[in-house]
A and B are shown apart, each in its own frame.
Chain A
Amino acid sequence: MTEDTNDNTNTNCNYLSFEDGIADIDRQIAELSSLSQKEGTDNSSKIRKLQRAQVAEFKRIYSSLSPWQTVQVSRHPQRPLFGDYLNLMVKDFRQLHGDRTFGDDPAMVCGLGHIGREKVMIIGQNKGRETKEKIKCNFGCPNPEGYRKALSKMKLAEKFNIPIVTLIDTPGAYPGIGAEERGQAQAIAVNLMEMSRLKVPVICIVIGEGGSGGALGIGVGDRFAILEFAYYSVISPEGCAAILWRDGSKAPEAAEALKLTSSELQRLGLADAIIPEPLGGAHRNIHDTVYSVEQYIIKSLRQLKRTKLENLLDTRYKKLRAIGTAATKLSEAGVAAERIKASAENFIKKGKAAETKPATTKI
């Protein structure tokens, strides 16, 4: 990004607690520019120097964000939301509201549109920007009807062979009385099963918060990508700390323990790609962020549309089935038993005791 836009967006940004250095430089720049206006002196070279220092500071901070800092960036009040992606990336968006069973859930937005030259069904969680909108959207926590709406639109896309793109940004599915009455768990479960066998390409991207089952409910597909400073977790760090330590304020440590960052996700084999964010996080340059996401979608669609349906479904299934296989192993007793069994078999076969091989956990 250019130093120009950097300057522009910074002035209306809330600084995060670990961005004191950035804020400090911004203050100095502001002082110098007002000074040059008042007194007519030329401070441009000083300002340029400060801007360079700021870029260095950004790089220093953002190259080693802690997991908890990452969570804070992903929840930044100015972070691009689903609506921003719709505005900047999707042409001729036709929103489709109806879940056909209960009611319209504003926390889940679905519709047809074009990304690049591709027709897509785009689905995402909407958190809302202003307080009123946030409340209306339940802060991006969908109810069961939201998940059912999403599935019904995915089925529509399947019928007309239109690829599906989901943008995930939710703290989690809503935990309320009505949500339970209307089967929150069942709605998510059905989405997981049906998405695993949709006969069109499905691309899922975590753009902010990837909160647990609520995120996964629209997060099963052929590609799973995550923005650099987004997170994806089985439980919120606050929830984890509350359960293990009865103290939600220990969330930073829980974030560490949960390994919820994009790089960990890729290491664990759960993410196909990490989409890089602009210097200082997505909120500092919304256009660049959306552009990177758009490019990822276009590239992935090109690959997936070339794949034969049979292979597409088979690859998707194998990918899902492989999740966590490497996280299992044989117990010590199991390893010993396997060894004895193997050498006994070899003894019978070859008439001699064979060398013992380490047992595999393959099943």
Chain B
Amino acid sequence: MAKDNKSQWDGFSLKPRREMPEGLWVKCPGCEKTIYKKKAVENRDVCPECDYHFRIGAADRIRYLADEGSFEQIHTEMVSADPLDFHFRGTTYKDRAAAAETRAAGKEAILVGKAFIKGRGVSLAVMDFNYLGGSMGAVVGEKLCAAIDKAIEEKLPLIVVSASGGARMHEGVVSLGQMAKTSAALARLDDAGGLFISILTDPTTGGVTASFAMLGDVIIAEPKALIGFAGPRTILETIKVELPEGFQRAEFLLEHGFVDMIVHRKDMRSEIARLIDYTC
């Protein structure tokens, strides 16, 4: 485990990645240089010095990915009915969800709809880590399935951008079931000959990785994104040995054959457009 990450960001840290903080100047967690925020924002929330990809919410993601104003969102008002009536030592799911809504781009951890990317129509689903860590509950499953249906019905490529800690604990087995549900819907898309491009961003772990995120015809990852089944902490606690450098980063997955390409955020649009052109 690299302890000094002073000069060059090696991508490995148990510390979670952050969004860009407020202020004119920000200190890049990657290279630790102070950068002019406007420059980084213009660079799609990527450090101009070291290519550290800041975490971004679903709204920014769509802005960077889709043609301007082309995203037609569906199911914006779908929310969870709290199937377990979840409460644990004074914390309730309802409270957590209400608090999450103030931070997130929408009313749930995924935004779905039709969009255009460089003029190509797509069915687009973007997860929002700002809503309860992008966790997958019934609404995420249902909305993603709606996006998959749209891809099948309108013969559109399906683009899913994942950013998630995994299944949503507060919905118990209902959230676990979403893994099976979304995978079954993707089997239908596959049978129909549709294209599914899965984009993995920091972080993509747990039940999301172990279902739709790993089922792409083409799987693209952002540089140094944390991608895995079990979180690094869980693994550390289970096996109690140091994790290898770069473990569970996008480059690690590429090396082990589980990701097709690593694409810089600024190139993502053109890369998707090219892939679409190959398949239709």
What is the interface of chain A, defined by CB distance below 8 A to chain B? 173, 175-177, 179-186, 188-190, 192-194, 196-197, 212-213, 216-217, 219-220, 232-235, 239-241, 243-245, 250, 253-254, 257-260, 264-265, 268, 270, 316-317, 320-321, 323-331, 333-335, 337, 361, 363
Pick 26 A–B contacts, CB within 8 A, sort by A: A175-B238, A179-B229, A184-B210, A186-B209, A188-B229, A189-B212, A192-B210, A193-B186, A193-B187, A196-B187, A197-B187, A217-B210, A219-B180, A233-B173, A233-B176, A245-B88, A253-B89, A259-B84, A260-B173, A324-B177, A324-B181, A327-B171, A331-B77, A331-B78, A334-B79, A361-B78
- Mask of B160-201 contacts with A, CB within 8 angstroms, 1/0: 000000011101111111111101111110110000000000
Instruction: Judge whether A325 and B184 touch: CB under 8 Å.
Output: no
Report the minimum CB–CB distance from B273 to chain A (whole Å).
26
Closest partner residue, chain B, to A213 (CB atom): B210
CB contacts (< 8 Å) of B91 on chain A: these are: 244
CB contacts (< 8 Å) of A188 on chain B: these are: 210-211, 229
Alpha-carbon distance between A257 and B88 when the two chains are bound, in angstroms: 6
- Mask of B79-109 contacts with A, CB within 8 angstroms, 1/0: 1111110111101000000000000000100
Closest partner residue, chain A, to B182 (CB atom): A192
Alpha-carbon distance between A321 and B230 when the two chains are bound, in angstroms: 26
Alpha-carbon distance between A337 and B118 when the two chains are bound, in angstroms: 33
Alpha-carbon distance between A189 and B205 when the two chains are bound, in angstroms: 12
Instruction: Judge whether A317 and B184 touch: CB under 8 Å.
Output: yes
B58 at the interface (CB under 8 A from A): no
B213 at the interface (CB under 8 A from A): yes
CB contacts (< 8 Å) of A260 on chain B: these are: 172-173
Q: Which B65-83 residues have C-beta < 8 A from chain A?
A: 75-83
CB contacts (< 8 Å) of B83 on chain A: these are: 268, 324, 326-327
B215 at the interface (CB under 8 A from A): yes
Closest partner residue, chain B, to A317 (CB atom): B184
B159 at the interface (CB under 8 A from A): no
Report the minimum CB–CB distance from B40 to chain A (whole Å).
31
Alpha-carbon distance between A181 and B256 when the two chains are bound, in angstroms: 6
A180 and B228 contact, Cβ closer than 8 Å, known pairs A175-B235, A323-B178: yes
A234 and B181 contact, Cβ closer than 8 Å, known pairs A177-B247, A180-B229, A254-B88: no
Closest 4 CB pairs of A and B: A334-B77, A324-B138, A175-B230, A196-B184
Report the minimum CB–CB distance from A232 to chain B (whole Å).
6
CB contacts (< 8 Å) of B2 on chain A: these are: none
Closest partner residue, chain B, to A211 (CB atom): B176
Alpha-carbon distance between A243 and B145 when the two chains are bound, in angstroms: 28
Report the minimum CB–CB distance from A258 to chain B (whole Å).
5
Closest partner residue, chain A, to B145 (CB atom): A321
Report the minimum CB–CB distance from B146 to chain A (whole Å).
6
- Mask of B126-148 contacts with A, CB within 8 angstroms, 1/0: 00000000000111011001100
Q: How large is the interface on B (under 10, 10 to 19, 20 to 34, 35 or more residues)?
A: 35 or more
CB contacts (< 8 Å) of A253 on chain B: these are: 88-89
Instruction: Judge whether A258 and B184 touch: CB under 8 Å.
Output: no
Closest partner residue, chain A, to B142 (CB atom): A328
Residue among B174, B213, B244 with the highest chain A CB neighbour number at 10 A: B174
> Within the complex, which residue of A183, A240, A264, A330 is in contact with B79, where a contact is CB–CB below 8 Å?
A330
Report the minimum CB–CB distance from A65 to chain B (whole Å).
18
Report the minimum CB–CB distance from B209 to chain A (whole Å).
4
Report the minimum CB–CB distance from A243 to chain B (whole Å).
7
- Mask of B223-239 contacts with A, CB within 8 angstroms, 1/0: 00000111000110011
CB contacts (< 8 Å) of A233 on chain B: these are: 172-173, 176
B214 at the interface (CB under 8 A from A): yes
CB contacts (< 8 Å) of A176 on chain B: these are: 235, 238-239
Report the minimum CB–CB distance from B220 to chain A (whole Å).
15
Alpha-carbon distance between A219 and B186 when the two chains are bound, in angstroms: 17
A234 and B88 contact, Cβ closer than 8 Å, known pairs A177-B235, A185-B229, A324-B138: no
CB contacts (< 8 Å) of B176 on chain A: these are: 212-213, 216, 232-234
Residue among B87, B169, B173, B191 with the highest chain A CB neighbour number at 10 A: B173
- Mask of B100-122 contacts with A, CB within 8 angstroms, 1/0: 00000001000000000000000
CB contacts (< 8 Å) of B145 on chain A: these are: 321
Besides A180-B248, A193-B184, A264-B173, 4 other A-B contacts (C-beta < 8 A): A213-B167, A328-B79, A328-B81, A328-B138
Instruction: Judge whether B244 and A177 touch: CB under 8 Å.
Output: yes
B258 at the interface (CB under 8 A from A): yes
A250 and B210 contact, Cβ closer than 8 Å, known pairs A196-B187, A320-B181, A329-B79: no
A363 and B238 contact, Cβ closer than 8 Å, known pairs A240-B169, A320-B184: no
CB contacts (< 8 Å) of A184 on chain B: these are: 210, 229-230
Instruction: Judge whether A323 and B180 touch: CB under 8 Å.
Output: yes
Closest partner residue, chain A, to B184 (CB atom): A196
CB contacts (< 8 Å) of B146 on chain A: these are: 363
Report the minimum CB–CB distance from B189 to chain A (whole Å).
10
Report the minimum CB–CB distance from B187 to chain A (whole Å).
5
Instruction: Judge whether A173 and B229 touch: CB under 8 Å.
Output: yes
Closest partner residue, chain B, to A316 (CB atom): B184
Report the minimum CB–CB distance from A18 to chain B (whole Å).
22
B243 at the interface (CB under 8 A from A): yes
